[in-house]
Structure 1
Amino acid sequence: MTHIRKIPALLLLLAALAQPAHAAGCYADYKAKQDQPLKLHYGVMELSGACSKSAARDEVAARLQRAGWTLLNVLSVFGPEGLDKRKADAGSNFLRF
């Protein structure tokens, strides 16, 4: 009977381990622009949706558009291990949006 009591705890542990990849942090780096006058920027954004380049395009574009920017390109999608090497290049646009 004691083994049966351990099953719910085991199921909770397995569910926690099976979280989607973005639960540990998923990020996209991108290029964006504004017109009149032309402004360009490179940035890094944390994603809240699916951790894929195609899903990132929609999410990044929508969030940038609210701030008056147009997405040019999502360069890559990566985990937290890629943040440090992109931080200096993104400058003030590092996790800004």
Structure 2
Amino acid sequence: MKVPALTLLAALALACSARAQEPCFADYKASRDNPLELQYGVAEIRGDCSPREAERELRPRLAADDWQLLEVISTFGEAGLEQRRESAGEYFLRY
């Protein structure tokens, strides 16, 4: 039995869009001055699940509270979320 190309294409598109809907998170380091404060946090990323996209989204979110993004450490899915909760403390999903 042959599967029509259009059906195969539709199935592939659905599979790709389902993957794009998976939650994405980033852990990061930030700082602010006067007095000097450092922050480790975890944030949800709404766009592409990449460090570059995480940086693009986090800079303005953090800047709104006078934080400067120092580094996006990594991006990850839900599987890595709980292991970072304690370390992020009050900055867990705050931004």
**Which bin holds the TM-score, normalised by the shorter protein?**
0.7 to 0.9
Matched residue, 2:71: 73
Structure 1: give runs of 5+ residues left out of the alignment.
Answer: 1-9
For 1:21 and 1:14, the matched residues in 2 are separated by 11
Give the root-mean-square deviation of aligned CA atoms.
2.2
Matched residue, 1:7: none
* Deviation of the 1:12 alpha carbon: 6.8
Matched-pair identity in %: 45
Matched residue, 2:46: 48
Distance 1:42 1:21, change over 3 A: farther
Q: 2:62 aligns with which of 59, 64, 67?
A: 64
TM-score norm. by structure 1 comes to 0.81
Distance 1:43 1:87, change over 3 A: same
Structure 2: give runs of 5+ residues left out of the alignment.
Answer: 1-7
Q: 2:86 aligns with which of 85, 88, 95?
A: 88
Matched residue, 2:30: 32
* Deviation of the 1:16 alpha carbon: 3.7
CA contact under 8 A between 1:31 and 1:42: conserved in structure 2? yes
1:11-26 → structure 2 map (5 Å cutoff): 15-19=13-17, 21-26=19-24
Distance 1:87 1:34, change over 3 A: same
Cα deviation code 1:7-59 (max 9, x no counterpart):
xxx98765442216451100000000110000111000000111111111111
Q: Once structures 1 and 2 are overlaid, which stretch shifts more, 66-75 or 12-21? A: 12-21
